[in-house]
Amino acid sequence: MNKKNLKDKKVESKIIIRPQDLVSKPFISCPKCKKDNQFGVLMINRNSYVRRCNNCMYSESYDLPGLEKKVIYLDQMAISNMMNAINSSSSVKGDLGKWRLLFEKLDRLVKLQLIVCPYSPIHEEESVVTTVYKDLRQMYQHLSNGVSFYSSDVVIRFQLYIAFMKWLNKDVEDITIGDIVHGDINEWQNRIRVSVNLKRDKNKDYVKDVTRHRDILSWGLVHLFNYWKKEKGKKFDTWFKREINSFGRAYWEAYCRLALSDDAIELMNYTTSQQSILVAELSNILRKGGLDNEEEIFIKLGNFFKSEQVKEIPYVQLFSMLDAALANQTANGGRTQPPNQGTHNDLTMIATYTPYCDALFIDNAFRETIKQGEKHLGLDIYNKFYSQSNFKEFLDYLDKIESEAPRELILKVKEVYGEEWVNAFVTMYNKR
């Protein structure tokens, strides 16, 4: 056959999967046929796993102990530095040894089923505008075990719903971490994780929209920064009261503006917005409670958004604290550099996810901002936060998680996954 025929010939390739290919190590002796090294792990479920014999096909299920994983949020800076530390093709050079060590510890704890590091839409937005989006995404998805936070807008909607029920004197439970994530925090990790690649970095319109949105938010913060600099006589309490009193009113006004707009784009935004979904939910609650006059429903909802109950939701408390601390720093000369593009994301992330995390790794400046804000409000959250300024303490915190883990759990991990499972995946970025 000549070269031309070889080129023209359609080559068909087949992938043949045998039953044995679905069974992985560690292998032990089969309890039925007694064959050595044939009884491997077929599947791992939330709280059980199944072994199958490659010789006689006998299967057996085993219970796994319940998990209570620590939830750790890693900001974009930590994700980026860890990626650069283990990626030999990274253009970033320098001493990244501590970030490699951090990755090794986190990866080990994830595999020991002791922690999970959920990613958020903020990671997505901050990664997609870079040239290394795929590498960053691989890092935060790897440490998350497929668990991701809902967006800030959704979490705020949930918190406002709970606040509304309390405002109506209804018995209702506060939301928990399980309510605001995709995936299961406390499931045993499967060896295989399916990730959907939406190729957002190839969608120029999406990237352009994200970039424009970041620029608008950044410009708004710079404008605020310049305003704060002129307000030298004002104290933290003044800034805090202004912010916390404005949230509910601004949220309600934003909804009304969208609902009454005759602009086609704004009307489309209205129908899909979290404000619209929330108001529809709250309106239905009032109708079921016997209120059938639409004008009265509208008035009652407006009263709720102006109420003290709204000021007590976690997001409003935390965002107001951070905003007031930044304003106070700026007005009194403690902050001389204007906010950058990441500042609004940091504000949003901390205000949204802090109540649901055991620890958060953030930048030095925001950790100091939280420290100053806590002096005024006493929210008792500062000890949750770590940054480069107390890097060793974060490593010690991670070591403590493992040292305090039940020995039975560690042994069970080795039984299910094998001895080598916990070795850090530092070859993640090797040629694929």
- Express each pLDDT in 316-371 by its tens digit: 999 999 999 988 888 877 777 777 777 889 999 999 999 999 999 999 999 999 99
Q: Which amino acid is at 351?
A: A
- CA pair distance 234, 246, nearest whole angstrom: 17
Contact indicator for 105, 359 with CB cutoff of 8 Å: no
What residues have CB less than 8 Å from 340, skipping those under 6 apart?
218
pLDDT digits (tens, 9 = 90+) for 291-331: 989 999 999 999 999 999 999 999 999 999 999 998 888 88
- CA pair distance 297, 286, nearest whole angstrom: 7
Percent of the chain surpassing pLDDT 70? 90
Distances (CA, A) of 171 to 165, 189, 425: 7, 35, 46
Beginning with the edge strand found earlier in the chain, give each strand of the sheet holding 39-44 in spatial order. Answer: 24-28, 39-44, 48-53, 59-63
The per-residue pLDDT for 420 is 92
More confident residue, 59 or 89: 59
Q: Which of 315, 345, 75 is nearest to 210 (CA)?
A: 345
Q: Any idea which residue has 């949105």 for tokens?
A: 213
Helix extents (H) in 39-182: 76-86, 97-111, 121-128, 133-144, 152-167
pLDDT at 41 over 90: yes
The per-residue pLDDT for 199 is 59
Residue 266 banded pLDDT, cuts 50, 70, 90 = low
